[in-house]
């Protein structure tokens, strides 16, 4: 397996300076969250370092890479292949960097969309990506504070923020994100089985 220096060299050569600094920020935030919630700090660091390694790949290259493993993109992913840059990053992590740990690979895969029944490491990488120091949006300070107190609550806040943002921008929303939000809502006991239309 590659060491941290090799991984940093790989991403430094493939990402913009700004994106590279983002990755370092996600690494530091992920390690802090791992310490707070008792997750393996090394796993959190590795997943954070690699999470955006495919970010600058073209849509065509991302689709080609994920399809080469036998994965069939859904119709949303075909239209918006950047949703798959996490999966592409996980493939690179496994095939090129020698990472076999499924928890790390899954956290990389789902850091953009989330998913139903996210693991602790999934949540840490998702939130670290959302709150790292270079992020600047109206509720980021609230999320940074909440992330160190109640990770599930911070996850719910960030997922709902993302859903509202994507809808307001008129962009496609992946069903994984809806599944992540609904699953989390039920797991913390706030969900309702009823779906009543507002009139």
Q: What percent of the chain has pLDDT over 70?
A: 95
The DSSP-derived string for 133-180 is TT---TTHHHHHHHHTT-HHHHHHHHHHHHHHHHHHTT----HHHHHH
Evaluate whether residue 96 is within a structural domain.
yes
Provide the number of structural domains found in the chain: 1
Evaluate whether residue 157 is within a structural domain.
yes
In this prediction, residues 49-72 reach a mean pLDDT of 98
Radius of gyration of the chain (CA): 17
Residue 23: Cβ within 10 Å count: 23
Angle in degrees, 0-180, between the axes of helices 4-14 and 17-37, rounded to the nearest 10:
140
In this prediction, residues 167-180 reach a mean pLDDT of 96
> Using the 8-state DSSP alphabet, how is residue 82 labeled?
G
Q: What percent of the chain has pLDDT over 90?
A: 92
> Using the 8-state DSSP alphabet, how is residue 75 labeled?
H
Residue 179: Cβ within 10 Å count: 16
Evaluate whether residue 170 is within a structural domain.
yes
- Indicate if the pLDDT at residue 190 is higher than 70: no
Contacts of 171 (CB under 8 A, 6+ apart): 80
Task: Provide the pLDDT for residue 51.
Answer: 98
Evaluate whether residue 192 is within a structural domain.
no
Evaluate whether residue 196 is within a structural domain.
no
- Indicate if the pLDDT at residue 68 is higher than 60: yes
Q: With cut-offs at 50, 70 and 90, classify the pLDDT of residue 193.
A: low
- Which residue did the predictor score with more confidence, 104 or 192? 104
Q: With cut-offs at 50, 70 and 90, classify the pLDDT of residue 180.
A: very high
Evaluate whether residue 128 is within a structural domain.
yes
Task: Provide the pLDDT for residue 191.
Answer: 58
Q: With cut-offs at 50, 70 and 90, classify the pLDDT of residue 189.
A: confident
- Of 54, 185, 153, which is closest to residue 108 (Cα–Cα)? 54
Domain that holds residue 72: 4-187
Residue 72: alpha-carbon gap to chain centroid: 20
- Indicate if the pLDDT at residue 199 is higher than 50: no
Q: What CATH number is attached to the domain comprising 143?
A: 1.10.3210.10
- Indicate if the pLDDT at residue 27 is higher than 50: yes
Evaluate whether residue 195 is within a structural domain.
no
Evaluate whether residue 158 is within a structural domain.
yes
- Checking 69-77 for CB contacts under 8 A at 24+ apart, the result is 74/175, 76/172, 76/174, 76/175, 77/174
Task: Provide the pLDDT for residue 188.
Answer: 86
């Amino acid at each position: 397996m590659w060491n941290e220096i090799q991984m940093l060299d790989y991403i430094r050569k493939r990402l913009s300076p700004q994106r590279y600094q983002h990755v370092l920020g996600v690494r530091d935030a992920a390690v802090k969250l791992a310490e707070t919630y008792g997750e393996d700090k090394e796993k959190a660091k590795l997943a954070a370092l690699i999470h955006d390694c495919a970010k600058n790949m073209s849509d065509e290259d991302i689709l080609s890479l994920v399809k080469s493993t036998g994965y069939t993109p859904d119709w949303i992913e075909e239209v918006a292949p950047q949703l798959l840059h996490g999966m592409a990053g996980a493939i690179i992590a496994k095939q090129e960097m020698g990472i076999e740990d499924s928890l790390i690979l899954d956290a990389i895969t789902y850091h953009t969309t989330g998913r139903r029944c996210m693991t602790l490491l999934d949540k840490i990488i998702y939130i670290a990506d959302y709150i790292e120091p270079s992020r600047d949006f109206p509720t980021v300070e609230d999320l940074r504070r909440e992330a160190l107190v109640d990770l599930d609550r911070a996850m719910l806040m960030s997922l709902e923020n993302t859903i509202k943002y994507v809808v307001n921008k008129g962009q496609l929303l992946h069903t994984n994100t809806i599944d992540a939000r609904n699953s989390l809502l039920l797991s913390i006991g706030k969900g309702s089985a009823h779906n009543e239309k507002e009139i």
